[in-house]
Structure 1
């Protein structure tokens, strides 16, 4: 959505297509959140972005309304791969129409998430360029794009028993990325059965991800290097780093995102009352879950640090069950703790009182933390989070993690280890150095998105090229 806003500012008309399930959640969130998305009325259940040439349309994903989607990844991935007919029908029927305040011209290109192979045939049939957007870091994107190559080299499916074998380091990938451990790869590559549905769905997406006329990556050259971005072009098409995509909007005070959860801005007032760099911020994103036992250990560790903390506890943080905290925990910590269901994360990370971010290590969260100059404690759960966590610690030197969670994502980290890591981050010279490193990367990220910066220039290059193709 940040990319859509940046393109709309540069003159594009944007048709943003979601599944009906996601669209419904956005409608519900727009009714309670004070953000830039508003409903156009109850009759058509449509959304629009304030002051922007952006319309939001949706198509069915073929699954029943009560399907868990992300709780059954296999069925969801297969369903998404079959959406080509519905998508093409929608785009053709709404290609040149009056929508609200604006008359939308014909569609001239399709920007597709890297896991939306269904757009390849649609772009071919409509004779428009297909732009592949990688919302992951460049290194994770390379691991996904080259999945079939990794399989031919025997690196996937990943055998967890060989995860710590130094002879199994992966050094065959392009882009000058650091050597990878098997467990740095997408967790879906840990399939015990080579016929595993999500595993094979990713192999299929890997093939289609090379079929595009442009590649855009949500990273910046100063963080991962131009070679890593260039490696995402298999057919000679341009590949450009244009991130962090949220940052230009944030720096200009524009609220462009639409969370799928009701935000609690009161936490910002609470943060105003805390000392600089004193608060531990804990959030595991919108999908990651932890066991009841793990959250109890985390609660006791937060209590043991003696530090103020802001903890985002979703209603479904424990497999759709309410979180049960240790007896007396909330009473004992009430003078220095705030627990919320959701929070405006970028605003929280930008606050001077936040000293560390305990995160699931999703790429958006890592990139937001880097951009705000906040070090991280990684606690990965799924997908690309294991690579992000490892790079934050070992490559970018902005964080720490817990021992063994990359090998065993079901491991319960004891409160003693968690408390020790948090105290090191908040009180030691090591933690101070990690924060200084994060602040240096913050400066690099800011320079990249401002006029004259690498990402700013790359995005303008893309806009110019697409505009020329549209008028050719």
Structure 2
């Protein structure tokens, strides 16, 4: 502070004392605003990092100091993709326990590694931060999928809040595992004992027992790893003083009746102007926004399958040709690792052929895209983050789930809210180009779907507005973290 004052004396001349007083006053105000030091820890995946980053921005806006903990690999990706420095959020990292060349899209392998290695690294990080003079961590806001971190926090005298970046329905099924085993729906290994459609309560999304999240997130031989993780997380659930989630009351009313202690604070977003980075792993290609500007209202099919989905060559080509058959302009996100075994000459020729109507990018600012007037529908993997972004913008969805809880989210869209439809595979499991064309036309042309999507958008807007249920719950959350 003395050096800063000396600089102001030299730079400001006769006004220096006023300048110094102003700086000191602002520093006092900043310190007075700093309610607590909050450490946030998402599950190491894009669909979790994004809502945690959005939540972190909101906490910074309310005066909290936030330390954001990523795995080392995800941390490097976020830093490389950042368009500018983050304000008020300190980005740090810990190892995930895997070697640099190991496949982090294999959730079984990832979960097994971080469950064994990350607890020790997190404890060391907290100690190193305090030794370096950082303020003591008052709260851990941890992912429900990282329950081991709750135990570490309690050991260190840090209070715990749990944040679910997925649907409450998905969390409810996990918390009901003991009951499902008792009722004979599941065995003690997590596999279904009988083929049936599961519905925990009227109004909740129906889900076939063959599509439970832990049974559809990796190779079957590693299923036990994920199921054991879910069961351990359930035991850690009670260590949290509060559980909040990226959802809203009207979207999942029946699920919230089942678990009234879980507070919805969503749909989350960092800021209405889309200026604050949300922790993307890939750099956004913003050229697509100008491309959208040149398209008519409600004309564009937006296609994106998140950060984990991988298509084989045939399925990729069927999707590509199906989009071409619609005759509609389309914006398609194709990650560098999205298609296995795809011929580059084939893709180059395809891009030349559709250059007048289609645009392909490796990543995009999805929230801005979904808010754009030109977008007619969203062909989506139905990750909960993407689902909430579609809801918040009133965009109809063509559901194409890939794994895990995405099948349950599809059920919300297609069966409960009825704001979209689902693709249907052929006998060989492939979605044909004819199926893609047909379902896109049905989603875009269905006035009822469009009206229901707009009604859900209005409900979400009311929830996050001042006085709405999500806004009130968020202030309860803020007040607790301030203690």
* Category of TM-score, reference length = shorter chain: 0.7 to 0.9
User: Which whole-Å CA distance do the structure 2 matches of 1:355 and 1:189 have between them?
Assistant: 30
Partner of 1:46: none
Partner of 2:292: 271
Q: Which structure has the larger Rg? A: 2
User: Which whole-Å CA distance do the structure 2 matches of 1:130 and 1:255 have between them?
Assistant: 26
User: Which whole-Å CA distance do the structure 2 matches of 1:286 and 1:465 have between them?
Assistant: 33
Alignment partner for residue 142 of structure 1, among 165, 172, 178?
172
Shift of 1:338: 0.7
1:79 equivalent to 2:113? Answer yes
User: Which whole-Å CA distance do the structure 2 matches of 1:65 and 1:326 have between them?
Assistant: 29
Across the two proteins, how many residue pairs are aligned to each other? 426
Unpaired runs of 5+ residues, structure 2, are 1-52
Partner of 2:159: 129
Shift of 1:211: 3.1
Partner of 1:287: 308
Partner of 1:18: 70
Structure-2 change in CA distance of 1:354 and 1:152 (3 Å): same
1:106 equivalent to 2:136? Answer yes
Q: Is the 8 A contact 1:217 1:229 kept in 2?
A: no
User: Which whole-Å CA distance do the structure 2 matches of 1:60 and 1:210 have between them?
Assistant: 27
Partner of 1:201: 229
Structure-2 change in CA distance of 1:148 and 1:330 (3 Å): same
User: Which whole-Å CA distance do the structure 2 matches of 1:252 and 1:208 have between them?
Assistant: 37
Partner of 1:402: 423
Shift of 1:467: 1.6
Alignment partner for residue 435 of structure 2, among 414, 417, 432?
417
Q: Is the 8 A contact 2:148 2:233 kept in 1?
A: no
TM-score, normalization: structure 2?
Answer: 0.82
Structure-2 change in CA distance of 1:176 and 1:421 (3 Å): closer
1:181 equivalent to 2:208? Answer yes
Alignment of 1:58-97 (within 5 A): 58-70=93-105, 72-82=106-116, 83-95=118-130
User: Which whole-Å CA distance do the structure 1 matches of 2:243 and 2:57 have between them?
Assistant: 18
Partner of 1:375: 396
Structure-2 change in CA distance of 1:185 and 1:308 (3 Å): same
Structure-2 change in CA distance of 1:179 and 1:348 (3 Å): closer
Q: Is the 8 A contact 1:358 1:378 kept in 2?
A: yes
Q: For residue 112 of structure 1, give the secondary structure of its aligned residue in structure 2.
A: strand
Partner of 1:461: 476
User: Which whole-Å CA distance do the structure 1 matches of 2:223 and 2:213 have between them?
Assistant: 17
Unpaired runs of 5+ residues, structure 1, are 39-48, 99-103
| RMSD over equivalenced CA pairs, Å | 2.5
User: Which whole-Å CA distance do the structure 2 matches of 1:379 and 1:178 have between them?
Assistant: 16
User: Which whole-Å CA distance do the structure 1 matches of 2:331 and 2:138 have between them?
Assistant: 45
Going by fraction, where is helix more abundant, 1 or 2?
Answer: 2
User: Which whole-Å CA distance do the structure 1 matches of 2:180 and 2:76 have between them?
Assistant: 38
Alignment of 1:303-342 (within 5 A): 303-319=324-340, 325=346, 328-342=349-363
| Superimposed CA distance per residue, residues 263-296 of structure 1 (whole angstroms, 9 cap, x where no aligned partner) | 1101111111111101111111111111110110
Shift of 1:418: 1.3
Partner of 1:244: 267
User: Which whole-Å CA distance do the structure 2 matches of 1:462 and 1:326 have between them?
Assistant: 48
